[in-house]
Structure 1
Amino acid sequence: MRLLPMFSSPLTAALVAVFFFFLAVLLQRRGLPSSSFLRPSSDPMAARTFILWLHGLGDSGPANEPIRTFFSAPEFKLSKWSFPSAPHSSVSCNYGAVMPSWFDIYEIPVTSESPKNESDVLKAVQNVDNGVNPENIFVCGFSQGGALTLASVLLYPRTLGGGAVFSGWVSLNSSIIERISPEAKKTPILWSHGMADRTVLFEAGQAGPPFLEQVGMSCEFKAYPNVGHSITTEELLHLQSWIKARLKSSS
């Protein structure tokens, strides 16, 4: 997988819009009207979570659906999942080859000094649907999807259950901090990164917690020795525990 934190028009509108679209629209398609989703229930087995998973460059949503099998705890029995696929577009770092991509990629590896372009992201965020109750909604993403996850969580105007970044990077400049809402700053972040990652360098992941500290957000950073640009079973099992803890604290 090849990726870089440079958003380009017109793909960026699809980038962040995917997040809001699947919160506001797919909930209804799956029989979960936004007006009633995640209302308190006396049934402890009732679905309390909606998990949106954003894949990496060149991947697809369906290919990532087996991830849900790692969430075997009773709390996830009736959880709703969404695995959207990125649109097909030309990717610069792959010599213009057309493939699933949330936004264009110019070079690899991604470092802590890689350039950022957030103007189109901010334009897309202006169209956010504030009608969805975000409690116990978790946004997760790997690699390019991890960068999208972080940007979406920061720019969403309300508090989400949590955001989980796997092998991602900070795609926004520090100037964005003043535009992050007080509610968004309450969303907890889990950041997992392999120390042997040669696509999104470990240093790019390490830059995440200091950035979030400036924002005033809580971030749990997990480093995985000898792990490259991939997701391990250990990471997914920890994600399950992390989400369960958030559910307990919000119930």
Structure 2
Amino acid sequence: MSSLVRFLFSFAAAVAAASLLAVSLRRRAPPSLVASQLVPAPMATDRNRSFVLWLHGLGDSGPANEPIRNFFSAPEFRLTKWAFPSAPHSPVSCNNGIVMPSWFDIHELPMSAGSPQDNSGVLKAVENVHAMIDKEVADGIHPENIFVCGFSQGGALTLASVLLYPKTLGGGAVFSGWVPFGSSVAERISPEATKTPIMWSHGIADKVVLFEAGQAGPPFLQNAGLSCEFKAYPDLGHSISNEELYSLESWIKNRLKASQQKEN
């Protein structure tokens, strides 16, 4: 099989996984919350308000991932604001330069632990994510009530954004992602950022972002002084399962409870 055929197969698998994820979420998500439950009350205290930012994968879009929030029905999310931004359209090297939604350039698929990285592109994307976070902080949401989550390329951007943010955030959740930069960028991690907890989920059967790329995450984070909860899913390919999303809900909920107790 030629390298072009292998690439086309891997790329098609990535796009198909993103499409199946959106369809699965629409079909299997529990009943959605009413809009009034998702909008923070104007008189709510800063400590009770929260913000969840979700970053999609390569070739996907923010609106296609909005059903994810239907999994978060606990009372702690009553004052949660959600954001599902879409990546800008740009040429992607692993797709022969074809323009598509992408947070930064990807040089090859499948992604392995030793794949080349687009450090400059990642840092530019991180600036945009930080601007979104800064806007919510300026609006009165406590940084420890802000959570950044993402799938695949969005998971890699989630990790970079949380590690390079100058304040401690509520947490970063990585799904089927990878470490998107080298040691030179890692040296910029601030002491406050090392206090942000990381949740990492990865399917062992992932053929797009190989499991080895996910496995490289916890040791990297440990060396940087961060804690990481890593969970492997034996039969999961390059997609997100309902089980992962319910685990994410519980993980964020517990941190919101702790934040509210601290305020009280």
Partner of 1:25: none
1:151 aligns with 2:160: yes
- How far is the alpha carbon of 1:189 from its aligned partner? 0.3
Corresponding letter in the other structure for 2:190:
S
1:140 aligns with 2:141: no
Change (3 A) 1:210 1:37: farther
- How far is the alpha carbon of 1:250 from its aligned partner? 2.2
Structure 1 residues 108-151: Cα deviation after superposition (integer angstroms, max 9, x where no partner)? 11011112242454567679666724121000000000010000
- How far is the alpha carbon of 1:247 from its aligned partner? 1.4
Partner of 1:18: none
Partner of 1:187: 196
Corresponding letter in the other structure for 2:257:
K
Higher helix share: 2
Question: How many percent identity over aligned positions?
Answer: 71
Partner of 2:46: 39
Ranges in structure 1 where 5+ consecutive residues have no aligned partner: 4-29, 41-45
Partner of 2:3: none
Conservation of the 8 A alpha-carbon contact between 1:90 and 1:98: yes
3-state DSSP class of the match of 2:144?
A: coil
- How far is the alpha carbon of 1:243 from its aligned partner? 0.4
1:212 aligns with 2:213: no
- How far is the alpha carbon of 1:177 from its aligned partner? 3.3
Conservation of the 8 A alpha-carbon contact between 1:53 and 1:139: yes
Q: Equivalents in 2 of 1:160, 1:37: separation in Å?
A: 20
Of the two, which has the highest radius of gyration?
Answer: 2
- How far is the alpha carbon of 1:200 from its aligned partner? 0.2
3-state DSSP class of the match of 1:145?
A: helix
Q: Equivalents in 2 of 1:122, 1:136: separation in Å?
A: 23
What is the root-mean-square deviation of aligned Cα atoms in Å?
Answer: 2.5
Q: Equivalents in 1 of 2:203, 2:84: separation in Å?
A: 23
Q: Equivalents in 1 of 2:57, 2:177: separation in Å?
A: 9
1:248 aligns with 2:249: no
Higher relative contact order (CA 8 A, sep 6+): 1
Structure 1 residues 145-174: Cα deviation after superposition (integer angstroms, max 9, x where no partner)? 001000000111111000000000001212
Ranges in structure 2 where 5+ consecutive residues have no aligned partner: 1-9, 13-38
TM-score when normalising by structure 1 = 0.79
Partner of 1:65: 66
Conservation of the 8 A alpha-carbon contact between 1:2 and 1:105: no
3-state DSSP class of the match of 2:166?
A: coil
3-state DSSP class of the match of 1:179?
A: coil
Q: Equivalents in 2 of 1:125, 1:199: separation in Å?
A: 23
